[in-house]
Structure 1
Amino acid sequence: MILNSIVNGEGAPVVLLHGLFGAARNLGVIARSLSGARVISLDLRNHGDSPHGAMDFGTMAADVAETMQSLGVPQASLVGHSLGGKTAMTLALTRPQMVERLVVMDIAPVSYSHDYDAYVAAMQAIELRPGLARHEADAALAQVVEEPPMRAFLLNNLVLGAEPRWRIGLEEIAASMPNLLRWDDPPGMQPYTGPTLFLRGGDSHYVQPAADAPIARLFPNAERETVAGACHWLHAEKPQEVIASLKGFLHL
């Protein structure tokens, strides 16, 4: 699958991969700040303006590889957050020749027990009628999603107008949720020995000390860095700190 892409700048290619319920445009601040690079922000399948379909990390990594090839990019540095981080790790482990450097933001190669089924169900329950206002959709989501910033993030995927619709593939995401929570070593993989940075939020619970062993096994040259005062969405909460870390690691 060829994914929708947004390209900024010129130079060595850097591919940005967003997290669940996100889109390429959510990473615009980072993309515009990595001067000296050709930054390619991708909408993962079922997100943004990319096509929809069944999801697992092998398939999503293949999407990224196919899209890079279509753009004439045989190799790039990859930066992935959460869902995008697992996708980037899978590509590095299965097609290492395509990954010059790897940055994984606030996720680890482990399975997770949390899920977002309630969020998906709440989004699906909103009546998509003509004239639907954003504040009405927000009020409907508030019954399940308490945090206003999270509701705003989810509602970025809602297109209002004469025929309201969700950009995001809610049915496909719901059906694929078990695959997205798991981590299984990709078939035929080898440890990725290229330069790797695991960048975590200091206040996030996503990368626990127990993840150190699988990280070391799969990414033996990985560095680890913590962004103080940031939670899971570290690039939105501490953008300047994240940008500084990325520039240093990517030599930009």
Structure 2
Amino acid sequence: MTNKILHSNIIGEGIPFVILHGFLGMGDNWKTLAKEFSSIGFQVHLVDQRNHGRSFWSNDFSYEFLAEDLKKYCEAYHLKEIVLLGHSMGGKTAMLFASLYPNLVSKLLVADISPRFYPVHHEVILEGLSALNFDEIKNRGDAEEVLGHYIPEMGIRQFLLKNLYWKEKDRLALRINLSVLKQEVAEIGEPLPTFATFEKDTLFLRGDRSEYIGIDDETIIVNHFPKAKIVTIANAGHWLHAENPKDFFEAVKGFVA
């Protein structure tokens, strides 16, 4: 196990509110909403999970490791009784963390993911990212052009391009640990262990245009999270917090207030 502490951006003062991004994302994706949450009395921790954003890279990658990383983060920052929100992959980390360390979590929020198994479905995106040759790519536009051959949706391309940074003065690179994430991509779809339960207030948020949480998932959710409520965000797909931030914020605010 590594002793490294996850990178984060901390916004505001008040009750600790930790947000975990999804696969291939980073804490900064949540910056706009974090400012809104900080305005209602929260200290928001935008955490980069391992192999993502500015956090450390490791060959070890599973929800067990991600949950343990978060525990070390809470210890390092002396966080007790956090409000915990996770999206997609971050939602699975949050579910497992809350079930393992219920005394550290006062309320749990899960955005557009169920505790069940999901088959691998990121192949094309990973193929597109693997096609980025930084010997040839000199700017963001070049990178977007390459990704365009794989990913027609502009919004998804823009989301992925946030991983670009200047490694040197004239050389771009990706912040994500692409080789490990490609190798371990099946881990992302792993179900929550059958033993995992969390007895406190839990809110699941789903996009009305997303297929990640269906009718069949409701029973699975309540089995693991007996106090769960499920709220549907209108006019939103899987990236519901970005597609309809206003309704997303109001739903979260109503739950955590």
What TM-score, normalized by structure 1, do the two folds share? 0.95
AA in 2 matched with 1:24 = G
Q: For residue 16 of structure 1, what is the aligned residue in structure 2?
A: 19
Q: Quote the Cα distance in structure 2 between the aligned partners of 1:236 and 1:62.
A: 28
Aligned match for 1:183, one of 182, 191, 211:
191
Q: Deviations over 1:14-71 (max 9, x none)?
A: 1011111111111011110012011111001111100011211111011111101101
Paired residues for 1:100-139 under 5 Å: 100-129=106-135, 132-139=138-145
Q: For residue 54 of structure 2, what is the aligned residue in structure 1?
A: 49
Deviation at 1:185, TM superposition (A): 0.5
- Percent of aligned pairs with the same amino acid: 33
Report the 3-state secondary structure (helix = DSSP H, G, I; strand = E; otherwise coil) of the residue aligned with 2:56. Answer: coil
Q: For residue 145 of structure 1, what is the aligned residue in structure 2?
A: 151
Q: Quote the Cα distance in structure 2 between the aligned partners of 1:171 and 1:247.
A: 38
Q: Quote the Cα distance in structure 2 between the aligned partners of 1:243 and 1:148.
A: 24
Q: For residue 175 of structure 2, what is the aligned residue in structure 1?
A: 167
Moved over 3 A (4+): none
What TM-score, normalized by structure 2, do the two folds share? 0.93
Query: Is this contact kept in 2: 1:130–1:163, CA < 8 A?
Result: no
Give the gaps of 5 or more residues in structure 2. none
RMSD: 1.4
Deviation at 1:118, TM superposition (A): 2.2
Query: Is this contact kept in 1: 2:208–2:235, CA < 8 A?
Result: yes
Deviation at 1:130, TM superposition (A): 6.8
Query: Is this contact kept in 2: 1:80–1:105, CA < 8 A?
Result: yes
Tell me: CA distance 1:190–1:125, structure 2 relative to 1, closer, same or farther (3 Å). closer
Give the gaps of 5 or more residues in structure 1. none
Deviation at 1:159, TM superposition (A): 1.4
Q: For residue 247 of structure 2, what is the aligned residue in structure 1?
A: 241
Deviation at 1:131, TM superposition (A): 6.3
Q: Quote the Cα distance in structure 2 between the aligned partners of 1:247 and 1:152.
A: 27
Q: Quote the Cα distance in structure 2 between the aligned partners of 1:31 and 1:142.
A: 30
Matched, 1:61 2:67: yes
Query: Is this contact kept in 2: 1:13–1:76, CA < 8 A?
Result: yes
AA in 2 matched with 1:225 = V
Q: Deviations over 1:79-120 (max 9, x none)?
A: 111011000000011111111100000000011124212211
Q: Quote the Cα distance in structure 1 between the aligned partners of 2:136 and 2:76.
A: 38
Q: Deviations over 1:182-207 (max 9, x none)?
A: 21407xx4520010000111111100
Q: Quote the Cα distance in structure 2 between the aligned partners of 1:7 and 1:230.
A: 27
Matched, 1:228 2:234: yes
Q: Quote the Cα distance in structure 2 between the aligned partners of 1:130 and 1:233.
A: 31
Deviation at 1:74, TM superposition (A): 2.3
Q: For residue 200 of structure 2, what is the aligned residue in structure 1?
A: 194
